[in-house]
Amino acid sequence: MSHYSIKHVRILAIYFLFLGIIITNILITHKNPQSNSDTADSQPQYTSDASANNNETISSAADDTSNVLPFDKGNHGNGIGGGSITGNCSAGSRNLPIYCVDIEHKKDTDTSKKYVSISFDAAWGDEDTIRILDILDKYNIKTTFFMTGGWVDSYPDKVLEIYNRGHDLGNHSHNHKEMSRLSVSEQQDEIMYVANKIKEITGYDSFLFRPPYGDYNSTLINTVYGCDFYPIEWDVDSLDWKDYGTDNIIKTVINHKSLKNGSIILMHNGAKYTADALESVITGLQSEGYEIVPISQLIITRDFHMDSNGMQIQD
């Protein structure tokens, strides 16, 4: 073969090699346009820039069909307070919120285990929120965050982050008022403002409500259920809001006289020592044999009644 022929053969070989690479890249790109598309379809992506909480982010969350409410919306008008939730919230002459749950008689539950829920009220500050979420991730624990309207408005990026990490998004009223002093329409406005904001940011239909200061009356409990929310209190107060220190929070929770199977623990994401104490609270509860679950999994969602101490009991 002549020198001229060899030179052209080499040129053709290089040409076809580059052509093959180009075609291969086109086929791969068409098949999988972005490497994280599987997770993008199942879970909205978090952005740390609050101003970037745009329609595209909200839309991806709203398309998540895994957010199935724990009650039958078709039953609306026939449940407690004219809502959709079936059960009986009255104990004697009073309507009561849920302070704890009777796990031993709960249906569809492994009653050989002990369960508690940790909850965080978010009404001021967000400095420790990511640190708290990282600690929860470390132990693969899901909890419940009760957020005021002001907190949601101030930290929409954190609301989305809490949601993306798989925690309950709870409602703590818009303005953190004493709800028992409000009219029914004012109570409804306080509840639904936060519900609508959470829905707008994440696409999530929230259904857990905690009254500010734990303040309620029978009218409020009826209103909460009428808005298709479960009213949630607590039977174990960590007292983290008093800023007594890390050790005090740990001892208060682990040694609390009311701590039991089905307890709901109150903490605050904005308290001074909560993040410092959280890991020891978790390991302390686990050492006592408790499995920590979000309140949405702890409570009985239908066909229940209350005892005089605010314990929710399966019918």
* Residues designated catalytic: 121, 268
d(CA 171, CA 187): 12
d(CA 140, CA 112): 21
Backbone angles phi, psi at 263, to 5 degrees: -75, 155
Rg (CA), the chain: 25
Amino acid letter, residue 236: V
SS3 call for 203: coil
d(CA 82, CA 70): 16
SS3 call for 293: coil
d(CA 315, CA 88): 9
Instruction: Give the CA distances from residue 167 to residues 30, 47, 144, 158, 159, in Å, rounded to whole numbers and listed in that order.
Output: 35, 17, 6, 12, 10
What string of DSSP letters covers 78-111?
Answer: SSGGGSS--S--EETTEE--BSEE-GGG-TTS-T
